[in-house]
Structure formats: structure tokens, C-alpha cells
Amino acid sequence: MRNKFVGILAVLLLAIGFLILNYPTLSTLYNQLHQGTVLTTYDDTVQKMNEEKKKEYWQEAKAYNERLAGTTPQLTDAFSNKGNKEDSDYNQILNLEEDTGVMGSIEIPKISVYLPIYHGTSAEVLERGVGHMEGTSFPIGGRSTHAVLTGHRGLPSAELFTNLDQIEENDEEFSIGAMVTLRQIELHEGLNTWSQGAVKESVTHIVGVQFRNLATVGGSIFGKFGFSDVLSCFLAFDSYVELHHEGIIPLDQFAANKYPNDILVRLIIKKHPQESVYLSHRNTKTDFPVLTCAVSLGEKEAYAVVGARPSRACRVRLSDQWMEQIKDDEGRRKLADEVTGQMNFGSNMRASAAYREQLSKVLLRRGFEQLEERREK
């Protein structure tokens, strides 16, 4: 009898240990099944709804967005447990299923994301899917709208945007998720070996390690900030961005145009044979750059990028004679003058336009010189 009891106890302990060890996986599977059920119910409700009712819901959301556009935004705490219980009007808009609170869904096929969007941003909501932040526009599109959707990655009870923080490498390209941190690309061996340290150099002077552990590649690229070291560096390569709606487009096209109401999924860098270098000048070590400079020399084409002008980084294709020009000081000076002459410079608290123009020529010449020294070795 005693041996039987010990045997049962051992089996129970093994079962409990198995459940504890596999809790994240089992919890993720449960949440995926739950989300699938919620989305199926929501889709069925939408399909069965007549056009007049759909239009009524749409007009309510549109009217809310229009009212919001004419007022000062009053954002709630995205991590508050209070949710949005006080605003009954908000909770009723786009609330097709009153017992679920689902207002829509978000789908990003590339990273296998298909999640329900709920009203509010309480902890309970974020454990089930994506939350819509009250005080921002409902996600129906339109002019003067800005919707904020919130979601956790790496929750022990749910896998939401987890795949966005990964760097994937194959023989042809690097794929950098939008939630990859600056620290990750700073330390990525494959990326920095291929770029000869240019990528690492572009981020290593940005504030401090703590900041780079939080700041993301997606935020740097999508923001298109004039002072962005990250944008300046990746513009020098054969780079592309993948947007949720627009698809894959060249990075220089994305940087030069507006893509409102879209979501950046990842950054793609083609692994063509090339030599690259990145330089910047700062008044103090961790300050915003006074000027940034990146140069990439490929087998057929070569590009130079100058950023923090203080406007957005600008890419210029080098002349067909660049291979000969970078071999001596006079040629490098002439090439730097040609590139700088195709750009406009402005003034701000960090430097004047005239200073930036001269600095551009200096940094470009230094970059050309460093690359030529590598080619001679």
C-alpha cells in the first residue's frame, strides 16, 4: 500500500513539474485558442450585420474622431488598472459584442500576428490582446486621425508582438524587426561584420546603454528624425522597409514620403558585397549629432549619406568615376565637394548652416580615405 502511495505521489509530482515547466507554452496555446474564438465570433457578427448598421457604427466612430481632432487630447495612463470605465460613450462605440468589448482586429501576416483590439489599456485587456488607448482616434483611418494601439510582448500568459524583436539573417539579407533595440544591432555580430562596424558606430554614441536597451529601430526609422544616426546609416545600404499596408518599399522612398495610418513591421538590408563607414560629429559625447555621414561602396554603385543637416538625412549616388577619385587627396576632395553641393544645410542651436556645409566635406573626405585604406590592404 505504501509503495502504491509513493508511486502515485511521484506521478503527481512529475505531472506538476511538467505543467510548471511548460506553463508559458500551454498558456500561449490557450490564449491563441481564446483569441481565435473571439475573432471568429467577431467576424461572424460583422458578416451577419446589415449595411445600415455597419454605417451607423462607422459614423459614430467618425464623429468621435472629429470631436477629438478639435480638442486637446486627454490621454489615460496606458498601464492603469482603471481602464476606461468612466467613459460610457467611448466604450459603446464600435462595440459590436457587448460582452467582449472587441472593436476590431489587427493582422500582420509577416510575423503571424492576428489579434483582437479591445477598448482601453487595462492589464486585463493587454493579457487578452491589443488595447486601444482612449483619447486617441478610433482606428478607422481618415485625415487628422492618430490611433494608438498598445500591446505587450513576452507576457508569460500571452504571446502578442514577440516576433518583432528579432534579427533574422540568411545568405541574402538581414531582417530587423521594428521592436529590435538599438543595443541589439550594436552587438549583432553578423550585422557588424558585414557593415565593417558601421552599424555599431552609428548607435554607440546615442545617449547611453540604458537608453539603447529601450530605444527601437522601428521608432528611429518611422520617426524620420533629422538627427537620426540610425536612418543615416541604413540609407547608405540597399535597404527596404516593410509596412503593414504598403508592403515592401525602398528605405529612401519611405524616408522621402508620408505613409500615414500604416505600421512599420521590419527593416530589410540586402547583403550585397560592399565597404562601408560611418562618421558623426557631436559637440558633446552623447549629444544629438551636429552632422552624420555614411558611405557605402558597392561593386557597381556607391552612395554617400549626410544627415542632421539639421533636416532629414539625404542620400546621393556617387559619380561613375568614384573608384579613381577616392585614390588620392585631390580626388577625394572633389568628390566630397560634389556630394555636399547637392545638399542644403540649415542652422540651429548646435551649428550654423555654413559650419555644417564645411563639416560635411571634412567627414566625407575622411570616410573616403578610410575606405581607400581598407581597399589597399
Question: Domain with 38 in it: what CATH number?
Answer: 2.40.260.10
pLDDT score at 184:
96
On whether both 146 and 168 belong to a single domain, the answer is no
- A 10 A CB-CB count for 259 gives 16
123, 150, 177 — which closes off a domain?
A: 150
| Dist CA 219 CA 360 (whole Å) | 26
Q: Which residues contact 149 (CB under 8 A, 6 or more apart)?
A: 106, 117, 130, 131, 132, 133, 139
- Tell me how many degrees the CA angle 238-369-200 measures, rounded to the nearest 5: 50
On whether both 138 and 179 belong to a single domain, the answer is no
pLDDT score at 21:
60
Residue 327: strand, helix, or coil: coil
Question: Would residue 155 count as lying in a domain?
Answer: no
150, 183, 203 — which closes off a domain?
A: 150
* Burial of 368 from C-beta contacts in 10 A (0-12 / 13-18 / 19+): buried
Q: Which structural domain, as residue segments, surrounds residue 251?
A: 164-372
pLDDT score at 24:
53
Q: Which residues contact 105 (CB under 8 A, 6 or more apart)?
A: 39, 42, 114, 115, 116, 117
Q: Angle of helix 23-48 relative to helix 2-21, nearest 10 degrees? A: 60
What is the domain count for the chain?
2
126, 150, 174 — which closes off a domain?
A: 150
Residues of the chain with confidence (pLDDT) below 70: 1-7, 9-11, 15, 17-36, 72-88, 98-99, 110-112, 152-163
Q: Angle of helix 353-376 relative to helix 329-341, nearest 10 degrees? A: 140
* Helices of type H across 195-321: 198-203, 209-212, 217-223, 229-235, 251-256
> Which residue, 262, 237, 265, 261, is CA-closest to 251?
237
On whether both 180 and 141 belong to a single domain, the answer is no
On whether both 43 and 176 belong to a single domain, the answer is no
| Dist CA 78 CA 316 (whole Å) | 42
pLDDT score at 2:
62
pLDDT score at 25:
52
pLDDT score at 26:
46
Residue 241 phi, psi dihedral angles, 5° rounding: -120, 145
> Which residue, 33, 139, 122, is CA-closest to 79?
122
pLDDT score at 118:
86
Question: Would residue 103 count as lying in a domain?
Answer: yes
Question: Would residue 142 count as lying in a domain?
Answer: yes
Question: Would residue 351 count as lying in a domain?
Answer: yes
On whether both 116 and 210 belong to a single domain, the answer is no
pLDDT score at 86:
46
Of all helices (H) and strands (E), which one includes residue 315?
strand 314-317
